[in-house]
Amino acid sequence: QVQLVESGGGLVQPGGSLRLTCAASGDIISINDMYWYREAPGKEREMVAAITREGRDMYLDSVKGRFTISRDDAKNMVYLRMNSLNTEDTAVYYCNAPTVATFQGIRYDYWGPGTQVTVSS
């Protein structure tokens, strides 16, 4: 069994910063690509950032230059550093691991419960 848990969300003023953390636990051998998604009220869930096992990253156009995704495979953790936040970044942020190698075999599509990020003055 694999679990993902996000943390680090909260209320921040426009222009502020937050660092989200996703901790993966369970019988994990390795995690392939990892993603951060977000879902704002009344909007569809969208991919914000992704990082491969090799460390290659990609971003939603609207967050390029402001957000940075990183990972620590020794700790099975992925991070999202968010700078210059604006009100349009308000959403629930989710961590996703589409493919996880476990001691019981390959397992697919794990999600965390999400962490709320609210940008408001």
| Residue range 78-103: mean pLDDT, rounded | 97
pLDDT at position 1 over 90: no
pLDDT at position 112 over 90: yes
| Residue range 30-34: mean pLDDT, rounded | 95
Rounded Cα gap, residues 23 and 18, in angstroms: 16
Residues 6+ apart with CB under 8 A from 17: 81, 82, 83, 84, 85
- For the chain, the average pLDDT equals 97
Tokens in use for 35?
A: 């993603």
CA of residue 40 relative to chain centroid, distance: 15
